[in-house]
Structures are given as structure tokens and as C-alpha cells.
């Protein structure tokens, strides 16, 4: 019998040798044209469309990072992403390139990670078998599937479209769990996959029973979840999704991202259309608009914005005709804007959604796209819809809110254009509107409450608190060998974020062993799409980690964290003192409290 630990050691040695023989510059250079500038090689990112290169490859540290869309990884991560394969698939591709033989029965990860991988593979198999089961139901000839087929026909979907999206039918509550159990899947795995649920009586049931099924497929062509549309009258919601699982996180997923990725392989994607639902996506795709994804009815998230940015910097939001700029919706659009995406909103005819328009023909929907408004124009449009401008009070309130929107425009020329439009809408003179705009009270945004020193730091770690920014900067300085960070011990950092803990442990381990810190080695334990790791790597752009300003910010960050730690200790001792009843105990606590206060005062004095 082969010893698993020996296999682990053997495979780890193989991986090290494979990476040594797979120079990241040569590998990535075989896919994209690299241009050497300074210590890095640069290219336009192969994972999102861009005109100005922001994709950097470090020859010294053997990893890549895109400062545009945030993707990063080592040579294995690049091959896995560019070839749309899994870890072992990337290993085999690189091994064939290097003319190396992959060891058999490779236990290539720690036991816990291996167990997680095996668990994920079991859940993915369950979801794939479920998708096949639903698809077979649709064309089984069972009379219970008639309502599903009638709905598909009513919506004008061609058989090729149904097949492309893998639509299926759930016929009842029990046939799916019975089918999956007969295939040998364990009860807990079935529940963990989200494919089935547990009823109050303890039986396994299909949570999407009697619905039309929409498989949700990720960028690696894995079925990770399902959406289901109710076809009969009931008190249940019209649409229902699989709950979040190990495979599926709704906030980090976009429907049809798999076909968008295939499109990107064929051609540059000028813009991505984002709709709300499954049918909007499918109808637009069938009408010839292949560059479409759906947020599945939720407000857009930062993770979804970054996912879209891999494919294009331009986004067209195409919600239904009743989309009137509700606060949650506008926040979603702002999130896209904050991720440096150029956002336009596609106006729909009142009461219609993209699905309705697409079924009128490609030209009908293209007309809507041609009328797309910039985000700032749309905000004014949405505000206008709240008021009756023939009413004096309403018009005044509209002007007040519209001017606040105009003030957020990116340039003076855009502001001038918007003021002219506002003049034409309201009849108020341009000069009066301009004076009111100039006298608007300036609002401090959440981003401005704490910023890094000097402009070159202003864009980093947006939207996080002071402590998070400080930890990120310190870890980045240590990872990339900033001289002013050499003597700092990351062991004193107050770490609560799992990624920060892993990064800090790696730094401490390398320093204790007297070995060089290589950021690329972090990708062996952290996913290349780890958002927090990418935030840290983003700090190694330009001169953010070099010079007097960077050193000063590093020292300020250390001071901030030490002050914060002392504040928490003082608060804790104060609470202990108030709760203590024994006089001797109170004296001991008071002594510790006094020492903390003294250290804090000394720290403030520098």
C-alpha cells in the first residue's frame, strides 16, 4: 500500500521541480505578448478587455497580478484560468510542456485541503447529475413535463437555445433525491450540495419541485446551483435559487458567465449587458446578444463587479421598464462605478423587460441599447420620475436633488452639459443653476474619511477602515521586502481576517527559517481569486511601497495598530475594574490600566 504522506512529499517535490522548469515569463509569453518595463513584464490582461496594459508579471517572484481586474496567481494559476481547467488539469498541461511525468496517486495537498477538494468534487458531481436528471425529465414524455414545455414554447425559445442553457424540469418533490440516492450519494453530501432539502418529517425533497430549472454554471463550466421558476399558481415566490453552498455564493456569481467566457475566447468584448433574470439572459442570447449575464434578481455586489471587469470595462445595465432608480438599485450601479467600470443604463419601454423587447426582434432591443444613458444622466432621469415638474414645489425639490447629482460629474464640461439639460427641463436659467451648484454644501464621502497620504495612495484599499488599511500596507511592505519594514515583527499585528493570518504566518515562517519571502508561494495555500490577497498585492503598484512617503505611512500604520491595541486593553481593564469587588484585585487591575495609559501617552508623543 502506498503511504499517503510519502505521496504528499513526492508530489510536492514534483510541483517544485515543475515550477522551476516552467518559467512564468515563458509560459505567459506563449499566450500574450509581454513587454519588459523596469522589474516586471507587462501586457494587456488576457482575463478582461483593456487598452492600457495593467497585467504585470514578476520574473523574480514568479507570479502575475492584474491591477485592473485584480486577478493574480502563479504559473499554475495562470494556466488553470487561461485554459479553463482545474488544478490537476493545469499540472498536466505544464508537465507535458516541460516533458515531465505526473506522479500517480498524488496526494498533492494537506489532508484538510485534500478532504475539502474531494468534498467539492462530490458536490459538483451531484449538481451535474441533477442537471442531467432535470434535462431528461423535460423530454421524457411524462405528461407532468407538458406545463414546462408549454412555457418554453410560449416564451419563444428554440430547442437549440434550451439545449445551450441546459433547461430542465422538476416534476415532483421526491424523484430527484431518490435518483441521487440510488446513484450512491450520501445523504449529507446531497444536503450540502443544495440540490435537495430536508422536510420537517426528515425526508429529502427537491426544493425546486415542479419548477422549470435553470442550471447556474460557473466560469469553469461546473454546475454549481439551480434557479427554478414556478409554473403553477401558489403562494411561493415566482423564482427560487439554490441556497449558498460550498460551490455557490450568489453574491459572487453571475448567470451565463460560462458562455461569456467562451465569447471572450473568440473575440474582445466591447461591453457586457447585465440583466436581472434568467429569461432576460436567454432571450437576449437567442436574439444575438451573447455578451449578457444576469445578477439573478439581487443588487449588484463588489464581487460581481470585479467578475464583470475581467471581460470588459464597459457595462450596460438593462433592467425592466419599471426600474426607477430605487436606492438599492442605484447603490449597485455605484459599486460598478467604484470598480472603475464605465456604466450606462439601458432604458426599457414602460412596463416591459429585456425579455419582452428581445422577443420583438434584435432591432427592437438594439434601439434600446442605442439610447443607453450614462450613470449620471440616468440618476437625473430616475430623480425626475419621482416628481411632477408642473408643480412648483416638486420642481424645486427636483432641481435641488438634480444639482447634487450634477456635482458628482467627473468633469466641468459634463457638468456644463448637464446644467443645460436641466435648464431645458425646468425653465430655470443656466446662470441661476450654475450659481446654486457652486453654493452647494460640500459633502464628505465615506471614502474621504480616511485616505492614505499623497495622491498615489488615495485609490488603495477603498471602503475599508483604518485598521484594515494599516494591516494590508504592513503585510505588503513585508512581502515585497521594503527596507523600512525589515525589523518589524508581524507577530504583533492584531489579525482577525483569515487571509491576513495566513499571510502573516507565511512571513513569520520564512523569517524564522532564514528563507526568502516569495509572494508567489502564497498561491499554494490561497486561491488566486482571493479578494483580500489581491488587495494586498495591489499595493505593489508603481511607487506605493517605496520612498519617504511610503515609509512614513508604514510607521503611521504601525502606530495606529499599536494605539488601537492599547485602546482595547484600556477598555477591557476598565470593564474589569468596574466589575471587581475585591480591593486587592482592583489594585492589580488599576496598575495594569495605568501602565496601558502610560504606554498609550508615550506612543502619542512619538
Per-residue pLDDT tens over the stretch 182-225: 999 999 999 999 999 998 888 999 999 999 999 999 988 899 99
Residue pair 212/228 in contact (Cβ under 8 Å)? The answer is yes
Summarize the confidence of residues 319-342 as an average pLDDT. Answer: 71
* Mean pLDDT of all residues belonging to the chain: 83
Taking 90 as the threshold, does the pLDDT of residue 591 lie above it? no
Distances (CA, A) of 361 to 285, 286, 289, 356, 498: 12, 10, 11, 10, 50
Residue 321: pLDDT band with limits 50, 70, 90: low
Residue 357: pLDDT band with limits 50, 70, 90: very high
Partnered with residue 255 across adjacent β-strands are 294
Q: How far apart are CA 79 and CA 28, in angstroms?
A: 8
For 471-487, the pLDDT digits (tens) are 889 998 888 888 998 88
Distances (CA, A) of 538 to 70, 147, 541, 551, 574: 8, 52, 6, 17, 40
Alpha helices in 480-546 (DSSP H): 498-512, 531-538
Alpha helices in 296-361 (DSSP H): 302-309, 327-338, 354-358
Residue pair 470/457 in contact (Cβ under 8 Å)? The answer is no
> Phi and psi at residue 424, in whole multiples of 5°?
-65, -35
Position of cell 515550477? 19
Q: How far apart are CA 569 and CA 589, in angstroms?
A: 11
Residue 297: pLDDT band with limits 50, 70, 90: confident
Summarize the confidence of residues 427-431 as an average pLDDT. Answer: 91
pLDDT on residue 309 = 82
Summarize the confidence of residues 418-444 as an average pLDDT. Answer: 86
Lowest mean pLDDT among 264-278, 380-394, 472-486, 589-603: 589-603
Residue 451: pLDDT band with limits 50, 70, 90: very low
Q: Which domains does the chain have, with CATH numbers?
A: 4-97 (3.90.580.10), 117-248 (3.90.980.10), 262-368 (3.40.1360.10), 387-438 (no CATH), 455-604 (1.10.860)
Spatial strand order in the sheet of 168-169 = 168-169, 211-217, 223-230, 239-241
Summarize the confidence of residues 63-81 as an average pLDDT. Answer: 86
All cell numbers assigned to 239: 423564482
3-state secondary structure of 345: strand
Distances (CA, A) of 86 to 112, 194, 226, 298, 376: 18, 22, 22, 29, 41
Taking 90 as the threshold, does the pLDDT of residue 572 lie above it? no
pLDDT on residue 245 = 92
Lowest mean pLDDT among 227-241, 420-434, 472-486: 227-241
Q: How far apart are CA 355 and CA 340, in angstroms?
A: 28
Amino acid at each position: 500500500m502506498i503511504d499517503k504522506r510519502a505521496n504528499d512529499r513526492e508530489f510536492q517535490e514534483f510541483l517544485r521541480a515543475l515550477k522551476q522548469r516552467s518559467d512564468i515569463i515563458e509560459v505567459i509569453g506563449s499566450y500574450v505578448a509581454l513587454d519588459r518595463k523596469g522589474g516586471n513584464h507587462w501586457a494587456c490582461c488576457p482575463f478582461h478587455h483593456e487598452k492600457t496594459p495593467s497585467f504585470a508579471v514578476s520574473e523574480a517572484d514568479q507570479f502575475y497580478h492584474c491591477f485592473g481586474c485584480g486577478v493574480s496567481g502563479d504559473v499554475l494559476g495562470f494556466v488553470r484560468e487561461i485554459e479553463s481547467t482545474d488544478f490537476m488539469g493545469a499540472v498536466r498541461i505544464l508537465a507535458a510542456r516541460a516533458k515531465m511525468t505526473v506522479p500517480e496517486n498524488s496526494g498533492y495537498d494537506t489532508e484538510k485541503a485534500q478532504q475539502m477538494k474531494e468534498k467539492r468534487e462530490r458536490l459538483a458531481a451531484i449538481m451535474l447529475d441533477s442537471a442531467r436528471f432535470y434535462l431528461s425529465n423535460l423530454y421524457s414524455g411524462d405528461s407532468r413535463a407538458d406545463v414546462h414545455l408549454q412555457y418554453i414554447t410560449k416564451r419563444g425559445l428554440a430547442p437549440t437555445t434550451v439545449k445551450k442553457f441546459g433547461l430542465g424540469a422538476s416534476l415532483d418533490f421526491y424523484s430527484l433525491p431518490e435518483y441521487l440516492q440510488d446513484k450512491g450519494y450520501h445523504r449529507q453530501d446531497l444536503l450540502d450540495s443544495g440540490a435537495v432539502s430536508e422536510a420537517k418529517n426528515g425526508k429529502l425533497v427537491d426544493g425546486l419541485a415542479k419548477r422549470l430549472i435553470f442550471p447556474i454554471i460557473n466560469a469553469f463550466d461546473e454546475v454549481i446551483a439551480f434557479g427554478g421558476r414556478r409554473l403553477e399558481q401558489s403562494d411561493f415566490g415566482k423564482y427560487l435559487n439554490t441556497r449558498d453552498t460550498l460551490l455557490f455564493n450568489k453574491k459572487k456569481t453571475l448567470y451565463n458567465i460560462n458562455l461569456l467566457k467562451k465569447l471572450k475566447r473568440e473575440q474582445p468584448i466591447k461591453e457586457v449587458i447585465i440583466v436581472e433574470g434568467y429569461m432576460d439572459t436567454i432571450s437576449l442570447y437567442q436574439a444575438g446578444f451573447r455578451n449578457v449575464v444576469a445578477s439573478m434578481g439581487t443588487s449588484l455586489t463588489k464581487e460581481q463587479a470585479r467578475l464583470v471587469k475581467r471581460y470588459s470595462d464597459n457595462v450596460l445595465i438593462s433592467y425592466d421598464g419599471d426600474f426607477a432608480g430605487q436606492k438599492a438599485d442605484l447603490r449597485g450601479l455605484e459599486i460598478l462605478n467604484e470598480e472603475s467600470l464605465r456604466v450606462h443604463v439601458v432604458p426599457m419601454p414602460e412596463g416591459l423587460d429585456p425579455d419582452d423587447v428581445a422577443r420583438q426582434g434584435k432591432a427592437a432591443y438594439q434601439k434600446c441599447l442605442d439610447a443607453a444613458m450614462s450613470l449620471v444622466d440616468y440618476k437625473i432621469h430616475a430623480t425626475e420620475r419621482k416628481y411632477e415638474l408642473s408643480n412648483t414645489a416638486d420642481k424645486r425639490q427636483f432641481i435641488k436633488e438634480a444639482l447634487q447629482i450634477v456635482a458628482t460629474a467627473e468633469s466641468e464640461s459634463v457638468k456644463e452639459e448637464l446644467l443645460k439639460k436641466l435648464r431645458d427641463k425646468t425653465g430655470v436659467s443656466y446662470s441661476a443653476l450654475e450659481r446654486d451648484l457652486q453654493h452647494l454644501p460640500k459633502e464628505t464621502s465615506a471614502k474621504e474619511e480616511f485616505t492614505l497620504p499623497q495622491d498615489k495612495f488615495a485609490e488603495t484599499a477603498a471602503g475599508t477602515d483604518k485598521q484594515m488599511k494599516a494591516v494590508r500596507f504592513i503585510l505588503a511592505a513585508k512581502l515585497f521586502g521594503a527596507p523600512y519594514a525589515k525589523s518589524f515583527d508581524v507577530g504583533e499585528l492584531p489579525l482577525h481576517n483569515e487571509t491576513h493570518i495566513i499571510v502573516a504566518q507565511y512571513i513569520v515562517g520564512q523569517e524564522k527559517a532564514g528563507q526568502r519571502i516569495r509572494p508567489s508561494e502564497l498561491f499554494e495555500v490561497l486561491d488566486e481569486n482571493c479578494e483580500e490577497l489581491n488587495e494586498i498585492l495591489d499595493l505593489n503598484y508603481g511607487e506605493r511601497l517605496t520612498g519617504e512617503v511610503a515609509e512614513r505611512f508604514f510607521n503611521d500604520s504601525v502606530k495606529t495598530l499599536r494605539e488601537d491595541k492599547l485602546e482595547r486593553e484600556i477598555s477591557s481593564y476598565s470593564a474589569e475594574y468596574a466589575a471587581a469587588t475585591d480591593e486587592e484585585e482592583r489594585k492589580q487591575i488599576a496598575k495594569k490600566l495605568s501602565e496601558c495609559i502610560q504606554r498609550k501617552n508615550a506612543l502619542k508623543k512619538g
